[in-house]
Amino acid sequence: MMDVQTQKIEALIGEMTLEEKIGQLQQCGPSLVGAFEVSFEELLDMMFDGRISQEEFGRLMSTAEKDFHEEDLRAGKIGSYNGVGDALTANRLQKIAVEESRLGIPLLFGYDVIHGFRTVTPIPLAESCAWDPDLWQKTARMSAEEATAAGVHMTFAPMVDVAKDARWGRVSEGAGEDTLLNGDYGAAKVRGFQGEDLSQTDAMAACLKHFAAYGAGEAGKDYNREDMSKQRLWEEYLPAYKACVDAGARAVMPAFNDLNGVPCTVNEWLLRDVLRDEWGFEGITISDANAIAECVNHGVVADRQAAAKEALQAGIDMDMTSNVYAENLAGLIEAGELAVDLLDQAVYRILKLKVELGLFENPYRTDEEKEKRTLVKPEYRSLAREAATKSMVLLKNEGILPLVPQQKIAVFGELANDPGQMTGAWAIGAQENECVSLLQAMDVQGISYAYHPGIVEGILATAEIEKAAESADVVILAIGEQKEESGEAASKAEISLPAIQLELAETLLRTGKPVVAVLFNGRPLAIPTVAEQVPAILEAWHPGIEAGNAILDILYGLVNPSAKLTTTFPFATGQCPLYYDHISTGRPGGKSKFTSKYLDTPLEPVYPFGYGLSYTAFSYSNLQVETSGDAVQLAVTVTNSGAREGEEIVQCYVQDIVAKRARPVKQLKAYRKVLLQPRESITIEFEVPFEKLGYYDQKMEYVLEAGEFAFFVGGNSRDTLSETIHLSFI
């Protein structure tokens, strides 16, 4: 028997015309008109390829007007908008939908709230280095409160694409290379975005992406193919998406890529067999931007009409901005090539989400006054600062840090003086004047310094550098990537630092002054020279709106760094993809010639997965491993052997030593962050259920195979204690 909600939705569908049904599947992106004779997409290309400057792009955008296709909205041809992020516009369009369309169905507004709305937090790759699900949930909750105050109902996040290749630009948007961490990160974000009740006005639907295996693009190129065994897909890539579905995510975005030859956008096995039938997902699916139309480019359909047919049959409910459904579904249904039931199912799911969001009862969930008093509140800035300090990884420290107030400081590098660069990729709601650079923070805090960019118009200013460093006790060097060098469509064939930045570092080292390198980047970098020669290195990533303040908190020791890498730092780009949980070969890398290695790089990465230093030191002892019931119980003693309070992220790994399929040399199975006082010891316990120790065999059956298992516990994936135990699983 149908519940009242279902009856109301089905009754509404019964009143809808074919055109109105198709309209609910249409997510519209506003068009730009005026000031220029090219499309918005072409204008973006002109900026990215250098035909116009970023300043000229901004000027043209400021004189343009947005066309929201209001007549189509009145006619019931639009059910959702993408990219509307202010209360005034959202309510104006909502008023047209509710009061001027025939059925008054409210709109759904989607927006890319990836790592903060206006109060931008560290990029996801950075925040994942906190290994802190409570923090991840809190920052997502803050994002939801801000975004919903600006009229947003759904965020296209979290991204939980396991990313093992640092060349891929979008590694910045997820939680790194590990399956477990991506799942924990995504689930925490879902809970934070959606809150306890989706109908509350400060809750927004989470749309997990990109389903599936988008982070495994061949050669690290964005949008590229993914070809892999089903065993690897189910063991390494799908679990993170499943964790988000289990956490209650109300939307799923299929990936641009093909998966074993079938684009995810038209992959019925992925979207129906796995997502809906096996996992029980009942929310909506929405294509990525223009992805349905791009199935023509993939070569799996002949034209846009065929793409529309294949996508709806595969299970895509909503078309993001390609207009393929709007142009073709009616004709396909009228010709009998598509069943109207398929359309009705998609409409039902979209209307159900609008009901869950409370939009029928309260279509105007915010107003301009609420928006004004919600954005960038002091407590939000405080949380952003906390998130940034917990995300920065201390990679090296030869006794230079923390700095002391009496020291004379010289600062070099343009990134120290550019607040707009601090947000990183996909921070579209950020405003530069609300961001704090390193130099701005030093000014506000009254820290005296000498500054020189070091590089002027692409040339190293050697004399000026030496002069600025002459009277300094310590030199701070800000180097790394511009924010445009990571994120979508920002894959790179070379992930080393630019030669001119390395020359700047070498020039400063020759002065004999102690150098602290602060890295700003959206991906792991190949930095063997810096790692070897620079005595102190802080990985700041792109830390968000409170960047400068958070960096000073770490450099001056107001906060003891505790973050650990969630991605491996290679020695050279040619090692990519390089990741800790690789499968061992028949000839593992070693000193002998005929082993799996490169002739021109070390075997080990510059920095391994899980690595990070503190201003104190931690030691591990007395690892105990035993079985109890249906789980392995581990206990280890962790001691703060240093002189100040600090947090340590204790990590537990496992290796199935002998199995019928080659298994990873290590897999993360548990972790815990603990606070220890100086000289304090604590016993940390982990429980690893037997069910987490299986794998998929050649017949795609999940098996638990008796045998020897090695367990590793330590402060990173390389430096661990280990014990081996026989498990029978009886």
Catalytic residues: 288
Beta bridge pairs of residue 683 = 637
Show the tokens assigned to 576.
Answer: 């990519």
The CA–CA distances, whole Å, from 168 to 22, 139, 222, 551, 608 equal 36, 25, 6, 26, 18
Among residues 200, 106, 107, 121, which one has the least CA distance to residue 157? 121
Q: How would DSSP label each residue in 473-510?
A: SEEEEEEE--GGGSSTT---S--BPPHHHHHHHHHHHH
Q: How far is the C-alpha of 186 from the C-alpha of 168, rounded, in Å? A: 19
By residue count, the chain amounts to 730
- The DSSP string of 551-604 is HHHHHTTSS------SS-B-SSGGG-S--TTPBP-SS-S-SSSSSSS-TTS-SS
Phi, psi of 259 (to 5 degrees): -120, 110
Closest by Cα among 251, 208, 212, 249 to 232: 212
Kindly tell me the burial class for residue 557, based on how many C-beta atoms sit within 10 Å of its own C-beta (0-12, 13-18, 19 or more).
Answer: middle
Q: Which residue, 383, 385, 394, is CA-closest to 564?
A: 394
> CA 522, CA 519: separation in Å to the nearest integer?
10
d(CA 368, CA 380): 19
CB 146 within 8 A of CB 464: no
The answer for residues whose C-beta is within 8 angstroms of residue 285's C-beta and 6 or more apart is 251, 252, 253, 254, 271, 275, 315, 316, 317, 318
Structure tokens that stand for 464 in this block: 């000026």
Find the helix or strand (DSSP H, E) in which 328 lies.
Answer: helix 324-334
Q: C-alpha 69: how far from its chain's center?
A: 32
**Where on the phi/psi map is residue 77: left (φ > 0), alpha (ψ -120 to 50), or beta?**
alpha
Task: Report the distance separating Cα 117 and Cα 128, nearest Å.
Answer: 18
CA pair distance 587, 567, nearest whole angstrom: 25
DSSP-assigned letters across all residues of 617-673: -EEEEEEEEEEETTEEEEEEEEEE-SSS-EEEEEEEEEEE-S-SS--BS-EEEEEEE
DSSP string, 147-210: HHHTT--EE---B------TTSGGGGGS--S-HHHHHHHHHHHHHHHH-S-TTSTT--EEEEEE
Q: Helix, strand, coil: what percent of the chain each, to 5? A: 35, 20, 45
